Amino acid sequence: MVKSILLVGVGGQGTILASKLLTTGLMEAGYDVKMSEIHGMSQRGGSVSSHVRYGDKVESPVIELGGADMLISFEKMEALRWLNYLKPNGKIVVNNIEMGSMPILSGKADYPKNAVEILKKYADTTVIDASSEAEKLGNLKVMNVILLGTIIKLMGLEEINWDKILKDNIKEKLVDINLKALKTGIDLV
């Protein structure tokens, strides 16, 4: 049985670190793991995605259209952009922030008004205030680890030793705040 988690967001939001921690934990738990990202030009403020797949034996590192068990979006409009990668009974976690793209910033287009309502119409959607929770912890950047916490809870991966994964992969002075962020994320859902 292979599970697929699609992490999406905007370049610079920390999706890459979140998926790195996630895949490392899954590997240490004994799963076969594959992950796919696209680097390069699209990074420059563009839409980014990390495909994470794990199970007994994973073939494709890329999640098929309509194949994700979970869509975790670091930004609301990005959840809408990637919605069709979700399975009909898949789960969505969406971070409750709006980041305008250039057509929106320049006043040529409008940010989608009912992004969350549209998502809820199609799938089991949980809205998380990861950014404000991160601010409460004192560092906006740990938003990604809060969201990682929600993945861990919703995918039933709490048994993996995440504290160790974080300690092994994060700079020492940032370990404590990230451990708190992880717990915050797990408790939020």
Name the minimum Å distance from CB 187 to other proteins.
27
Closest approach, Cβ 28 to other proteins, in A, equals 9
Q: How far is the CB of 96 from other proteins (least distance, A)?
A: 17
Pairing of strands 124-128, 86-95: parallel
Q: Which is nearer to other proteins, 81 or 167 (CB)?
A: 81
Tell me the closest approach of the beta carbon of residue 39 to other proteins, in angstroms.
6
- Measured from the CB atom, the residue of 61 and 176 that comes closer to other proteins is 61
Q: Identify which of residues 126 and 188 has a Cβ nearer to other proteins in the complex.
A: 126
Residues that bind other proteins (CB under 8 A): 10, 23-24, 27, 32-47, 58-62, 64-67, 77-78, 80-81, 83-84, 86-88, 100-107, 109-112, 115, 118, 121-123
Residue with Cβ nearer other proteins (31 or 181): 31
